[in-house]
Amino acid sequence: LRVPAVKLRETMVSLFSADASPPLPSGLAEGQPLPRLPSAVVLSVAADEQLKALQDMLRSLHAKQGATQAGPVIIVLLRALSALAVSRPRLLPKALPPLMAMAKEGGYRATGCDEAGPMPGGDVSVGNALRTAMVAVLRSRSDASVPWRDRICEALGAIGACDAAESSMKYIQRQEYKESRAARHRERELRGSGTTGAGVAPDTDGRASKRVRSNVPAAPAAPSLAAGNGVTAAPAAAPPLVPAPAPPPTSMSDLTELLKLLTTILGSGDRSMLDAFLQSVPLAALADLVIANMQHLPPAPPRQLSHAAMVLPSPSVTGTADGRAAQRAQRSPTPPPSSRPPPPPPPASAQPADGAATGRSEPAA
């Protein structure tokens, strides 16, 4: 039960030492009294008490039981104090000294230390936890951790983690260099755009002004008269077209109502009512209705489609133009050319004369 108790105390310290108070629902509109919370001073005192309880628990376990018997609880305590020092920088001067004292006086060694002799597994685990906790505080780069950097590196060297201290300091230098370079770049851009007014930065190195000037969009050329006809020529490039905003999608409830109405109209067989319904529904809603029902389409198109079943009207419209078209659709199909009877011979009057056939003309009588 000691491990959950440590996590509970860590959570309490984080909550009581938060910089911003949690938002509360306003009860003035409903006439209810607002809940009364403790003041910031009371919460700060409670956070200090819980933090002191964690420190006392770490010292007691280290002095009485050691890493062999209470190794897991000690590791959880080290992680809790390190997390509080990183997340709450104002608590760092109170949470960090127990870790440094344990690293210097506890006799623990981290993995990879050349001076480490044969040690129990619990002591090695505690040494690795100490190294991880202090490296996390060192790499947090908070303002509160700056005065403690040299002492943290000294404590890391005491447990044989000099390599971790050196890599952490190099990491801090790289991050600070990147931030300073980005700040100088932003300052140079702001100074260039704010002083020149034309979008050209000062020519300090001979290249900055050219680079900035190339990014300035050129003014559109004035229309000129075509040679010889006096017609104004078209501009070189048309302005980009801004796409119209898309309409909002139709809700599922509206699509369900549209589908019900469409099913009812199709069941009645009234074509005029169907046309009026389709004309009254917006195109966007019809498109959404089609997209929503695409999941009901068959995976492959049917092999045979009955055209008569698709075009035949209801019996009530027999005799109209649609009915005559349906009757023509029901007629037997035209036989192929191979099965057609031969055409009858042409009449005698249509046959050409002998003279016309031979190409000679008869003499006149």
% residues pLDDT > 90 (the chain): 7
Mean pLDDT of 236-260: 66
Reported confidence tier of residue 269, pLDDT bands at 50, 70, 90: confident
Residue 167 three-state SS = helix
DSSP-derived letter for residue 201 is -
Is 236 among the domain residues? no
Residue 276 and residue 160 in one domain: no
Which of 230, 260, 288 terminates a domain? The answer is 288
Q: What is the pLDDT of residue 32?
A: 58
- Which parts of the chain fold into alpha helices (H)? 2-16, 40-64, 66-87, 92-105, 121-139, 149-158, 162-195, 208-214, 252-268, 271-280, 283-292, 307-311, 321-330, 354-358
Residues 172 and 257 in one domain: no
Residue 196 inside a domain? The answer is no
Q: How many domains does the chain have?
A: 2
Domain that holds residue 90: 2-18+38-177
Q: What is the pTM of this model?
A: 0.48
Task: Specify whether 145 is located in the same domain as 14.
Answer: yes
Report yes or no on 134 lying in a domain. yes
Predicted confidence at residue 179, as pLDDT, reads 87
For residue 338, the model assigns a pLDDT of 52
* Residue 87 DSSP label: H
Shared domain check, 262 and 117: no
Task: Mark whether 60 and 160 lie in a shared domain.
Answer: yes
97 assigned to some structural domain: yes
Check whether residue 262 and residue 165 sit in a common domain. no
Beta bridge partners of 232: 225
The pLDDT value given to residue 345: 62
In a domain, 69, yes or no: yes
Residues 169 and 80 in one domain: yes
* Final residue belonging to a domain, choices 146, 177, 208: 177
Are both 11 and 142 inside the same structural domain? yes
Q: Looking at 17-161, list the stretches that DSSP marks H as alpha helix, in order from N- to C-terminal side.
A: 40-64, 66-87, 92-105, 121-139, 149-158
Query: Hey, what amino acid is at 326?
Result: A
In this structure, of 4-8, 239-243, 342-346, the range with the lowest mean pLDDT score is 239-243
Question: Does residue 74 come out as left (phi exceeding 0), alpha (psi in the -120 to 50 range) or beta?
Answer: alpha
Q: Averaged over 38-61, what is the pLDDT? A: 86
Within a domain: 258: yes
Q: In which band, very low, low, confident or very high, does the pLDDT at 83 lie, cut at 50, 70 and 90? A: very high
163-168's contacts with Cβ under 8 Å and 24+ in sequence apart are 163/112, 164/110, 164/131, 164/135, 165/135, 165/138, 168/135, 168/138, 168/139
Least confident of 50-59, 141-150, 340-349: 340-349
CA neighbor of 77 nearest in space, from 170, 10, 177, 171 = 10
Query: Is 137 found in the same domain as 51?
Result: yes
Whether residue 312 is predicted with pLDDT greater than 70 in this model: the reply is no
For position 304, what pLDDT does the model report? 56
Are both 69 and 169 inside the same structural domain?
A: yes
Q: What is the pLDDT of residue 361?
A: 45
Residue with the larger pLDDT of the pair 360 and 331? 331
| Confidence check: pLDDT of 85 > 80 | yes
Is the separation of the CB atoms in 100 and 158 below 8 Å? no
d(CA 267, CA 107): 89
Q: Is residue 356 part of a domain?
A: no
- Condensed to tens digits (0 to 9), the pLDDT of residues 53-64 reads 999 988 888 787
Q: Does 85 fall in a domain?
A: yes
Q: What tokens were used for 318?
A: 């027999």
260 and 168 in one domain? no
Question: What pLDDT is stored for residue 234 in this prediction?
Answer: 46
Mean pLDDT, the chain, integer: 71
Q: Which of 145, 177, 209 is the last residue of a domain?
A: 177
Same domain? For 257 and 166 the reply is no
Q: Which residues of 233-242 are buried (b: 16+ CB within 10 A; e: fewer)?
A: eeeeeeeeee
